[in-house]
Amino acid sequence: MREISKVGIVGGGVMGSGIAEVCARRGLDVRVAVSAETSLAPARRRLVAWLDRGLRKGGITEAERDAALGRVSFVADLGELADRHLVFESVPERESIKLEVLGALDKILDDQDAILASNTSSIPIIRLARATGRPSQVIGVHFFNPAPVLPLVELIGSLLTTEATFARVESFVAGTLGKDVIRSPDRAGFVVNALLIPYLLSAVRMVESGFAPAEVVDKGMTLGCSHPMGPLRLADLIGLDVVASIAEALYEEFKEPLYTPPPLLLRMVDGGLLGKKVGRGFYDYP
């Protein structure tokens, strides 16, 4: 199997652009596919914003920023990913969309050894793998937001993922990308979100019941438990729509009440109050 040097990413949102930066800064040839021509410019702006953030914080030089940006191309046609060795699917956390994208990629990729990686936060990988003709080469590669900053990546293989695929991706993520890796069983939510989401939902229920306002809940956890961010600010950062989707996937699999998304969370999602990415969630953002 050839070395992974050509990476594709489907989706130019927050996670897709973050993964693109991680790969580009490691010297890889990166191609980002978006859903429409009108999405090309916004996707590029997100990547530039990520790189400029690194420049301001002193993590990269101006020359390194420009070099990384030069390694990334943006396209509006999945067919442009045909020559990729590894493709990350980073579309919205809805199973139907992910199945459609993975099924299409499976038919497009020229390399028989090419790997399809889903950045899903919660959907069992085996359900996604069955949409392809190469289920042994489908794996979950779950980055955390912000991907260029947070060091952890979860690797999730289904019952059909081969150890060769696992080893190849683990070597790439840990060795080439420089991330810390944990392996997770193929259960909804995996390791991190199976622990995190009930905590976030409990915080939402506190606000919903009138027990405590968001500011008090967050202050209690940051100052009382030394958490770097309170649960409600964290939910806003993740995206309340994403939190709700993960909760629903967890409840579908385990049928445990602690995974049920509270009505307040669902109404906020219905109202478009999705958190920091739209400027308003449990807090307002400039």
Side chain identity at residue 23, one-letter code: C
Residue with tokens 């530039």: 48
Active-site residue, 121 included: yes
- Name the β-bridge partners of 141: 155
Number of residues that this document lists for the chain: 286
Residues 6+ apart with CB under 8 A from 243: 197, 200, 201, 235, 261, 265
The one catalytic residue among 154, 158, 170, 184: 154
Active-site residue, 85 included: no
The one catalytic residue among 90, 118, 121, 184: 121
Assess contact for 46 and 76: CB atoms under 8 A: no
Residues 6+ apart with CB under 8 A from 286: 279
The one catalytic residue among 119, 122, 158, 193: 193
User: Does an H or E element contain 250, and which?
Assistant: helix 240-254
Active-site residue, 73 included: no
Active-site residue, 184 included: no
The one catalytic residue among 122, 142, 170, 184: 142
Side-chain-side CA neighbours of residue 101 (13 Å)? 28
Residues with active-site annotation = 121, 142, 154, 193
